[in-house]
Structure 1
């Protein structure tokens, strides 16, 4: 296990640190965005969200950090609380930068997992009542097997075999000065 992505629930973070020792933790950017936008007036939310999203639209680690600092600078004037939240969460929301650029889209949020959970919920709602726990487990297991097969064998794989080999690069090849100092 190299990376665990979740929201910033303190109990969950503590459990991740205990169970997945040595792996990185990343705060889901979608969950962070919800938290940040809850501190601004609804009318300015879309503008603030657009500004924050520019951080993640960068081509490489250097540009991500440069844009991060620019966004914090911009928001310090208009929305200081959001700027402070960004600064506090810098290492948490930018942990994806420790991984190959080819993986970034898949790992900067928990959306793929949430889609799987939503599909399990949808299918259990269709069934309604289960005769026993084993029936529920079979249904959920079937959804997970389908998802695995889709990610494994589809034309557009979630992580290709080639992209997984990128994880074996040395730390010097993926050096990130600001995260290394943390």
Structure 2
């Protein structure tokens, strides 16, 4: 099997570790690895693998007992193997104390590096004190994939998500000996009680209407019902996909993106008053007040031909940009832009910058899924809902 080597800048990696919120994912990885290492230790002690018969057997398996174990990344729960005689004792805890930081770095590399079997093998061998097979490491790490797969395909029927934000980002993946660009679709939902959840993600070939429709259909298949509002940027394919998959749902054009598009066409100097009047449009809480603020801005700049393009863009996208204003004022700041989703994308991007080029789709799916799962679980554990819901 072809091996892919990815160059890691250690200082950049350590900076990402310090800024990261991947402890939950790292703890899951650590528990899986240590459980498998202890299982391998018991096999060697007994002289026979599980479900195998042998006259050279030294003992019999006797299940497991749970043990909480404190590490530098927090408390983890392990399944410690037992034998009938009680003579088996794992060496993992003593060895782990000496290799804590090394394994933590390796675990972080697993997340940001798409899991390099060779690198993980080297670290696990340091802990166990003897060689382990590549298949052992590969099988261990593959156990993470079902968790991410289950997260990406979980049912959405238990809750209602009246507000949904969708966005795309681009990554580079090595495919057929070439580096190609892939689109990553991410959907963030807000429940009726004001709690956020990562609804789903998908790695697609490009940002097109067909791919966006496939992504939205996947969410519907998993149980997403008609939202009250969908917020996104103004990508043409995405807009068409929303209209076709969720007919009747208002589309909110992200006000942050929209303002940026308008400001880019305005003169660069001496425009503070014009920019203030423009931003006031989206600080209003009713459609009528927004229209009045728009008229004030247009009247102020109408005599200056340098604002013709700005006025044209504003007029064209105005109604789509104030759909938030039909909802209660207490909810509007959460639904008028994709800011929260943009911040989530940036969390993915920080790890992706370390990798630069993913060796394959599976490694991209694993990294992005791990980051999103970590944030989703943080949302789930939060006891604070968005005020106003």
TM-score w.r.t. length of structure 2: 0.37
Counterpart contact for 2:252–2:320, Cα < 8 Å: yes
Q: Please state if 1:43 is matched with 2:253.
A: no
Aligned to 2:290: 64
Q: 1:38 to 1:127 in 2, by over 3 A?
A: closer
Mapped to 2, the partners of 1:152 and 1:68 lie a distance apart of 39
Aligned to 1:119: 347
| 1:1-182 alignment runs, 5 A limit | 1-44=227-270, 46-78=272-304, 79-128=307-356, 130=358, 132-154=360-382, 156-157=384-385, 159=386, 163=389
| Deviation, structure 1 residue 53 | 0.8
Residue 295 of structure 2 aligns to a residue whose secondary structure is helix
Which ranges in structure 1 are unaligned for 5 or more consecutive residues? 164-182
Q: 1:63 to 1:145 in 2, by over 3 A?
A: same
Aligned residues: 161
Map Cα deviations across residues 59-106 of structure 1 (whole Å, 9 max, x no partner). Answer: 544433322332232232332332232222221111111222122111
Counterpart contact for 1:36–1:85, Cα < 8 Å: yes
Question: Which is greater in Rg?
Answer: 2
Mapped to 2, the partners of 1:72 and 1:129 lie a distance apart of 46
Aligned to 1:173: none
Q: Give the structure with the higher percent helix.
A: 1
Q: 1:88 to 1:137 in 2, by over 3 A?
A: same
Mapped to 2, the partners of 1:85 and 1:148 lie a distance apart of 36
Higher relative contact order (CA 8 A, sep 6+): 1
Q: Give the structure with the higher percent strand.
A: 2
Q: 1:143 to 1:49 in 2, by over 3 A?
A: farther
Which ranges in structure 2 are unaligned for 5 or more consecutive residues? 1-226
Counterpart contact for 2:229–2:249, Cα < 8 Å: yes
Mapped to 2, the partners of 1:25 and 1:2 lie a distance apart of 9
Counterpart contact for 1:61–1:97, Cα < 8 Å: yes
Counterpart contact for 1:37–1:48, Cα < 8 Å: no
Residue 42 of structure 1 aligns to a residue whose secondary structure is coil
Q: 1:129 to 1:86 in 2, by over 3 A?
A: closer
